[in-house]
Amino acid sequence: MYSNILVPVDPTHVEVADRLIEVANKLVSDGGSITVVSIIEPLPAYVQGYLAANALTDTIAANKNKARETLEQLQTKVPGTSHALLDEGHPPSEILRLAKEGNMDLIILGSHRPALKDYMLGSTAARVVRHAECSVIVERSVIVRQ
């Protein structure tokens, strides 16, 4: 059993997030804590240049609100102590930072079936597995990304 579990979720794939929470609930020890986090990647500068300032602000605010709603919904599915975090940045780096700062002893994250670009660049899950200082469980989803 694990005392501090970090569960990074993608708010656009709630069905995968539900499965990750289910796994975390089975593995958390009595008195343990589950932290659910969603990390929003900033829009690249070349994309920002094509959007009007107010459209950019509205898009970012909408993405954050959707992620916040999803996190709150997921947090209700954790029976014990839980925390919900909304963060911004490069997902693999932020996951690793949060795991280290929070003294996590387990990270549970989802992964999609790898596409060609994942073999060239690497996926978030692959980067977390390679660099995490704690145990990592990767839940393979059936979602195929294009």
Segment 100-128, tens digit of pLDDT: 999 999 999 988 665 655 554 458 888 99
Domains annotated for the chain, with CATH where assigned, are 2-140 (3.40.50.620)
Segment 22-53, tens digit of pLDDT: 999 999 999 999 999 999 888 777 777 777 76
What average pLDDT does the chain have?
85
Give the pLDDT confidence score for residue 128 in this predicted structure: 95
43 in Cβ contact with 56 (< 8 Å):
yes
Give the pLDDT confidence score for residue 144 in this predicted structure: 45
Give the pLDDT confidence score for residue 122 in this predicted structure: 58
Distances (CA, A) of 66 to 36, 40, 59, 72: 15, 11, 11, 10
pTM of the model as a whole: 0.85
